Amino acid sequence: MTLAQAAELCACHPRTLRRAINDGQLTAMRLGQSAKSDRIHAADLEAWWQRSRYMPPPTTVFPKASPPGSLISDTDERLERLLATNRTKAAKKPRPR
């Protein structure tokens, strides 16, 4: 089949298939002198399609470093320190008249 026919079957652009051919991921046979004469065998197209389909990466489960309660209290403590620092800076700053 031609690149256009194969692209229609895969619901992709012919350039996608051309890139796969140029990268060596998809096998095509050239019947003439130009790239327009390239033909793709249905079995090769199916194999490429199965290999190149998007597969989401496996999710990594990270162990919890600390229980959720301590995370919240750590955040609260940091927030209190930041607020206290800002209050101190605001108190030291002269007020405009």
Residue-wise pLDDT tens digits, 53-70: 766 677 777 666 655 555
> 83 lies in a domain?
no
**CA angle (3 as vertex; 26, 18 as ends), nearest 5:** 50
pLDDT per position as a tens digit, 36-53: 889 999 999 999 988 887
Give the per-residue pLDDT at 95. 65
Average pLDDT over residues 21-38: 91
Residue 34 lies in a domain: yes
- Which DSSP letter does residue 70 get? H
Decide if 43 is inside a domain: yes
Domain count for the chain: 1
Q: Which domain does 37 fall in, by range? A: 3-52
Percent of the chain residues past pLDDT 70, beyond the cut? 71
Amino acid in the structure at residue 35: A
Torsion sign across C-alpha atoms 26, 27, 29, 35? positive
User: Mind giving me the DSSP string for 10-63?
Assistant: HTS-HHHHHHHHHTTSS--EE-SSSGGGEE--HHHHHHHHHHHS--PPPPPPPP
Structure confidence at residue 78 (pLDDT): 81
